[in-house]
């Protein structure tokens, strides 16, 4: 709906508009009134243009062993574009990233989600933080940016495609 607001040239357009308005305001007899109106307009523009920034401090909660098992089993963790990780109820982990599929295992240990995708895919354990369907996988003791995505039920077409691939039909 507001896609046109997020074009890459947005800062340049705002700067140009601001400079034009400042030039006009310096000549206007009612400068204070115009400044107040423009300030309110700028705040409204910011709120409408970046609706998520007001709720940026989401209420993420850390999950325990039992909560991680219950939350991830049979679900898919994804960025909804580039990658997806399917957590089977039996501990199987199937990942898809930019056309590459890997199969490994997942488990829960010490309030952390642990994944093992072998030598090429890597392995590690992560704290799980959740807010609604938004999930962050954080590495304890690290200042690195957490893996972020959403947790969702896999679609039937994804499930069928994975099954066919594992049976060698694709």
Mean pLDDT of 43-70: 69
- Predicted pLDDT at 42: 55
User: Bigger pLDDT: 161 or 105?
Assistant: 105
Give me the torsion for CA of 71, 99, 101, 70, rounded to 10°: 0
Neighbouring residues of 94: CB distance < 8 A, sequence distance ≥ 6: 85, 86, 88, 101, 102, 103, 162
Neighbouring residues of 15: CB distance < 8 A, sequence distance ≥ 6: none
User: Bigger pLDDT: 55 or 46?
Assistant: 46
- Predicted pLDDT at 18: 64
The Cα–Cα gap between 83 and 98 comes to: 6
Please tell me whether the overall predicted TM-score, pTM, comes out greater than 0.75 for this model. Answer: no
Chain region(s) in the chain for CATH 2.40.128.640: 61-166
* CATH number of 61-166, picked from 1.20.1270.360, 3.40.980.10, 2.40.128.640, 3.30.70.260: 2.40.128.640
Mean pLDDT of 21-41: 58
The answer, yes or no, to whether residue 155 has pLDDT greater than 50, is: yes
| C-alpha 86, offset from chain centre | 17
Highest-confidence segment of 42-51, 84-93, 112-121, 151-160: 84-93
Mean pLDDT of 135-150: 89
Mean pLDDT of 48-76: 77
Residue 38, H or E segment: helix 31-49
């Amino acid at each position: 709906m507001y896609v046109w607001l997020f074009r890459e040239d947005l800062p340049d357009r705002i700067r140009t508009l601001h400079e034009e308005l400042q030039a006009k305001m310096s000549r206007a007899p009612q400068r204070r009134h115009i400044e107040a109106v423009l300030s309110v307009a700028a705040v409204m523009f910011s709120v409408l243009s970046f609706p998520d920034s007001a709720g940026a401090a989401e209420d993420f909660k850390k999950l325990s062993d039992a909560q991680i098992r219950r939350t991830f089993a049979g679900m898919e963790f994804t960025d909804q574009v580039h990658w997806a990780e399917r957590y089977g109820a039996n501990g199987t982990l199937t990942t898809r990233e930019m056309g590459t599929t890997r199969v490994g295992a997942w488990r829960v240990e010490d309030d952390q989600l642990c994944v093992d995708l072998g030598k090429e895919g890597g392995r590690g354990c992560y704290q799980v933080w959740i807010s609604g369907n938004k999930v962050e996988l954080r590495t304890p003791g690290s200042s690195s940016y957490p893996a972020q995505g959403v947790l969702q039920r896999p679609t039937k077409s994804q499930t069928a495609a994975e099954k066919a691939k594992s049976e060698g039909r694709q």
